[in-house]
Amino acid sequence: MRLVVPLALAVGLAVSGCVDGDIPPRPVPAGAGPVELVSAPGCGAIDFVIHNGAAFWTEEADGVVKSISTGGGRATVIATAQTVPRAIAVDASSVFWVAGQTIMKKPRVGGSAAAFVAATTTAEILGGENDINALLVDRDTLFFGRYIFAVKVPTAGGKSKVIGQSPTTDLGKPRALAVDATHLYQTEMDHLAVSREAIDGSQMGLLEDMFTKQPLAPDRIAVSQGSLLVDAIALDDGHILWANAFTIWKKAVDQLEGANAIKVTSSATADDITGFAVSGAFVYFGEARTGKVQRAGLADGVPTEIATGQANPHHFAADDQSIYWSTADCRIMKLAK
């Protein structure tokens, strides 16, 4: 899975006291609760990604971008005085993030932050025509969603290319992104749908009437998702996964609207799912009102509670050893698998 797509104290064995990541997490015995990797009081909102042993995050209210080793230690400041920094993406050499209506870029080592994709001057009639709502890096390409457009640009720099455009009857805005060798997949804000387009720019999708094809129109995978979680999407074993209300669903990537989705799992308490990530044979997800984090097998779908006392756990990510999530009170938590 490639996903962008980039925090409260737990009850019981949770560790507290980290300030801006200056104190490394204590060793976590097997079966213990989550530890606090990052604390950013007053951040407004936090977005993060995990990449090669480090967490990278933005703090919307503070206007800062930072990183820290997933093993703990002192946080590194990447950029300050950013305009409402939000979505973030990272590759081996650079960090990209949204600041206002601009995509910024900074080398991971040395260098200075600079505008990578400039803001546009489109007249805003419906609102949000210039907003960038999603980022994802895959190899040498940065994918992003701006208004109703899915766009790609080489990470080394160059001309941006629109590869998908939601029809005016839908006005879906790409939010969470995932990519495979041939297609970019997204949840759609406002349209409340899951869709995809060919990454080579050759997209020719069916419109709502299911007969008319239009250049750049996305393929419609799932529509009328009334409680779609727009902040998460995942690819696993040839399937696309998304959450609607308290259930996570999947379809084979080549099954479009009309084919039945398969239930992966549901919240044990019928509580809306706030975020999820797939890692190995499991999907990990958070619940809105209960503040619980659950784990379910992809094969059997049986949910098991693995953390409690989390403030709206969302923006899940994983590496080989741990699961990570952010919370509404501006923390990034870490839990050993």
Q: What pLDDT does 55 receive?
A: 98
Q: Confirm if 197 and 218 have CB atoms less than 8 A apart.
A: yes
Full DSSP string of 36-58: EEEE-TT-S-EEEEEETTEEEEE
pLDDT class of 31 with cuts at 50, 70, 90 = low
Sign of CA pseudo-dihedral 128, 182, 153, 43: positive
In a domain, 26, yes or no: no
Q: How confident is the model at residue 258 (pLDDT cuts 50, 70, 90)?
A: confident
Q: What distance in Å separates the CA atoms of residue 14 and residue 9, rounded to the nearest whole number?
A: 6
Q: Which domain CATH number covers 148?
A: 2.120.10.30
Average pLDDT of the residues of the chain: 91
Specify the number of domains making up the chain. 1
Tell me: the pLDDT tens digits for 232-255? 999 999 999 999 999 999 999 999
Tell me if 19 is assigned to some domain.
no
- Please write the tens of the pLDDT for every residue from 64-80: 999 999 999 999 999 99
Cβ atoms within 10 Å, residue 42: 9
- Give the pLDDT score at 64: 98
153: left (phi over 0), alpha (psi -120 to 50) or beta: beta
High-pLDDT (> 70) share of the chain, %: 91
Sign of the Cα pseudo-torsion (74, 78, 81, 82, in order)? negative
Whether the pLDDT of residue 18 is over 80: the answer is no
The separation between the first and the last C-alpha atoms of the chain, rounded to the nearest angstrom, is 18
Decide if pLDDT at 41 tops 50: yes
* CA-angle at 78, arms to 75 and 81, nearest 5°: 115
Which structural domain, as residue segments, surrounds residue 165? 35-336
Residue 24 located in a structural domain:
no
Instruction: State the pLDDT at residue 12.
Output: 30
Distances in whole angstroms, Cα of residue 242 to Cα of each of 194, 195, 216, 253, 271 = 8, 11, 22, 12, 16
Examine residue 278 and state whether it is found in any structural domain, yes or no.
Answer: yes
pLDDT of residue 35 exceeding 50: yes
pLDDT (tens digit per residue) in 112-141:
999 999 999 888 888 899 999 999 999 999
Mean predicted confidence (pLDDT) in 222-240: 97
Q: What is residue 166's DSSP assignment?
A: -
Q: 267: closest CA among 240, 236, 289, 234?
A: 289
* 146-158 per-position pLDDT tens digit: 999 999 999 999 9
Query: Do residues 26 and 336 make contact, with C-beta atoms less than 8 angstroms apart?
Result: no
Residue at 16 is within a domain = no
